[in-house]
Amino acid sequence: MKFADLHLHTNFSDGTYTPEELTGRAVELGLAAVALTDHDTVEGCARMEAACARAGLEFLPATELTAEVEGNELHLLGYFVDTANPRLLAEMTRFQQVRQNRVREMVARLNQFDIPLQADAVFALANCRSPGRPHVARALVMGGFCSSLDEAFERFLKKHRPAWVPKFKMSGLDAIELIHQAEGLAVMAHPGLNHADEIIPALVRAGLDGLECFHTKHTPSASERYLRLAQELGLLITGGSDCHGLSKGKPLIGTVKVPYEYVEQLKAAIARRKSNASAARSALRTAP
């Protein structure tokens, strides 16, 4: 059997591995295909694609966008997006700016709690354009202010804790449209973590293409439930480990194994989309 891991992060967002290191781990694990889904960026895709090509491993370019629907935070995976798409890149630049400002605001709140952390220390440690709470957590641990990442989240960074800062998010419907105009497939990430299954039908009406049925934090019964839902709604099925590297001990890559047939279904869906688009273009050209 061939397997894939379609949810992975590198140090271009809040993972710890470089694209080359992540590819090396995928090769050691014997995976057939991997997708890079860094938060609000596609910057790591070119290096990961090159590393996968050298290693003979199939690569799917992707990203994980933060969005919201009716007050629920929602993560949308965009598979096979064109990583040079101008609108996608422009919107991501905006999200990255929001993330950087949010880090400054979180640090300012920590300073009010007499924690003398500096924003520049977080940015130096993050060393990427798309920093997030995990980087602030790592800086708190490295500075000796917390003894673990869990403690940093529990004491300061979780929702409604003292240094938590709400993040501007685009609407889920706009995120689906952004992924589509960048020629990608829009997939709702880890629905089992959102506890908001009631929003799924509206997302489907907006063109949602798939559901991430397999995820590290899904119980077997949650995976079953989402597999059934995907089948009922005619959605594609994806899954992955959501590996962030070595930040929490053992890396998760390869611990969620997605049968390769689901990758084939994603590729078939993209091929259909492209052939429909080109048929529509030629119909327009031949119209009187």
Q: Which secondary structure element, helix H or strand E, spans residue 205, and what is its range?
A: helix 200-205
Our finding on whether 244 is near ligand AMP (CB under 6 A) is yes
Phi-psi region of 189 (alpha: psi -120 to 50; beta: other; left: phi over 0): beta
Residue 14 sits in the site that holds Zn ion (CB under 5 A): yes
For 215, the enclosing helix (H) or strand (E) is strand 210-215
43 binds, among Fe ion, Zn ion, ligand AMP, none (CB under 5 to 8 A by kind): none
Site string for ligand AMP, 5-44 (x = CB under 6 A): ---------x------------------------x-----
| Residue 141 found at the interface with ligand AMP (CB under 6 A) | no
Give the residue with the Cβ less far from ligand AMP, 55 or 222. 222
DSSP classification of residue 145: S
Binding segment for ligand AMP (CB under 6 A), chosen from 17-25, 85-93, 145-153, 200-208, is: 145-153
Q: Measured from the CB of residue 14, what is the shortest distance to Zn ion in angstroms?
A: 4
Sign of CA dihedral 81, 87, 91, 92: positive
Interface residue list for Fe ion (CB under 5 A): 64, 75, 189, 242
Which of the stretches 25-33, 147-155, 228-236, 250-258 binds ligand AMP when contact is defined by CB under 6 A?
147-155
Q: How many residues does the chain have?
A: 288
Q: For residues 170 and 76, what is the distance between their CA atoms, to the nearest angstrom? A: 11
Contact call for residues 285 and 28 (beta carbons, < 8 A):
no
- Site for Zn ion contains 212 (CB under 5 A): no
To the nearest whole angstrom, how small is the minimum distance from the Cβ of residue 19 to ligand AMP? Answer: 18
**Position 40 contacts Zn ion (CB under 5 A):** no
Read off the tokens for 15. 């993972």
Q: The dihedral of CA 248, 126, 11, 238: what is its sign?
A: positive
Binding site for ligand AMP (CB under 6 A): 14, 39, 132-134, 149-150, 153, 158, 167, 244
